[in-house]
Amino acid sequence: MSISFIHIRLAGVDAPELPHFGRPAQPFSHAAHTWLTNYLLSRRVRAYVYRQDQYGRVVATVYVRRWPFPFIRRDVGLQMLRAGLATVYEAKSGVEFGGEVMEGRYRRAEERARRLGRGLWKGKGTVGWESPREYKTRMAMLDGERAAATAVGGGEGEKK
């Protein structure tokens, strides 16, 4: 028996980044990951797939059904926003929400979590805080600067 995994990107939401590719973790990334793991662990999910992203992940809205009301489904991305552990995904293109109605719900959920100081909004003002989108943009710029410096300098650690 072989086990295969499907990597899913939750449509419409952006959670703080865990450490990877030598980049540091964003604040609340571990809390968001733990919340998501606990929320989904040992539960059946249904994913409504929109497309595949540039990293080969499936972009989907994911739902869980919770006992004792199996006929009621919960949108995992919306629940993360309500918990204050994600932001609405902002990109120039390729954003999927499952329609304008869902985008509105997502934005209202983020605003309410912000207003109530939940999760990553706890004790946060707007000054000095970096969204997952801003973090990724900053990291990409730093990577570009490092690559340019390495190209100009002839490589790191090279003797002159």
Please list the active-site residues: 9, 17, 57
Residues 6 or more apart from 67 whose CB is under 8 A from it? none
Nearest CA-CA partner of 80 in 20, 12, 3, 137: 12
DSSP state letter for 70: E
Residues 6 or more apart from 160 whose CB is under 8 A from it? 154
